[in-house]
Amino acid sequence: MTKDTDTIHTIRWTDAGLELLDQRDLPREENYLLFADVTGVAGAIRDMVVRGAPAIGITAAYGLVLAARQHYAESPQDWRRRLDEDIGLLAAARPTAVNLVWALQRLQHRLAGITGDPAPVLLEEARAIHAEDIEANRRMGAHGAAVIDAGSSVLTYCNTGSLATGGYGTALGVIRSAWAAGKLQQVYASETRPWLQGARLTAWELVRDRIPVTLITDNAAGYLMQGRRVQWVITGADRVTANGDVINKIGTSSLAVNCRHYGVGFMVVAPCSTLDFSLDSGALVDIEQRADAEVLVLADRRIAAAGATAWNPAFDVTPAELVDCLVTEQGVIRAPDRAKLAVLEPGFGNSG
């Protein structure tokens, strides 16, 4: 049985501002940074202080509260125009994560009809988004764990735990629930270049929870599956399009292809807020391209030959036909496709 994983708090609201656990320093140090304005929050999202689609959405919601508080104090008659500008600033920080825009849209809807100070209303909504995410993660954990047979071992990719969400996690939430139910023998974590979220973050979370974790290099995953060492690969998602295509950390699609070849189950765990019904397929998603230095430099030291350049997409697209099951807070969808996603509860996701 695991301990209460909500002891890991990535995002903390205080009267002084928004505190974020700086994930760039993990696992060496646990440092919280305080952000008192929306510009700082947008920078924190862009610069990977906080990451993971649900956590990004929650952070952006609190960032908009900071903006509303500042603008109303400075100009009670002009706060709405200035707040619209800040919504654009936050939305552009990491646009591939659909939760970011989804959270901002929820707060925008609460602004309708407000004539006084908007900050208290927005704070109430931001806190609701935060709490709902934790509850949804626990439901997803139970749904996904029910699919896993006793005695299984699993591989997970990137980081999808308390650090990437409001708490408990998506894919890592399933792993936590399956471990608590006595179903898992072993968890493998792929290191996840170039930011090494698997090595630095997932392994850190699992060690804290006393769940056995073995780290592998990203390019060892196929051999791991060939040896029948894992029965499931479990990942999260930054976006799921209307046809069921999954946009997630670069390298996810390679795992899905290997899973299909070797007969390993491929499970995607994502809240309904990650569904984007405005896009017909993953081919229409604008994939974030990040700086060459993230690939060419490691721990402030250049590891590539001088003169080499890098191609550094942050995400890739896994075709829906390679997904064995999609787990949301509403349940498990086997072999997800357009028709199966369309029946999910109205109001979730980005309707365009």
47 is catalytic: no
> What is the crossing angle of helices 171-180 and 119-147, to 10°?
50
Q: Write b or e for each residue in 257-270: b if 16 or more Cβ atoms lie within 10 A of its Cβ, otherwise e.
A: ebbeebebbbbbbb
Show the tokens assigned to 46: 């862009």
Cβ-contact 188, 157 below 8 angstroms: no
Give the span between the Cα atoms of 323 and 337, in whole angstroms. Answer: 9
Among residues 238, 245, 276, 316, the one annotated as catalytic is: 238
Give the span between the Cα atoms of 204 and 299, in whole angstroms. Answer: 18
Sequence length of the chain is 352
Residues forming the active site? 238
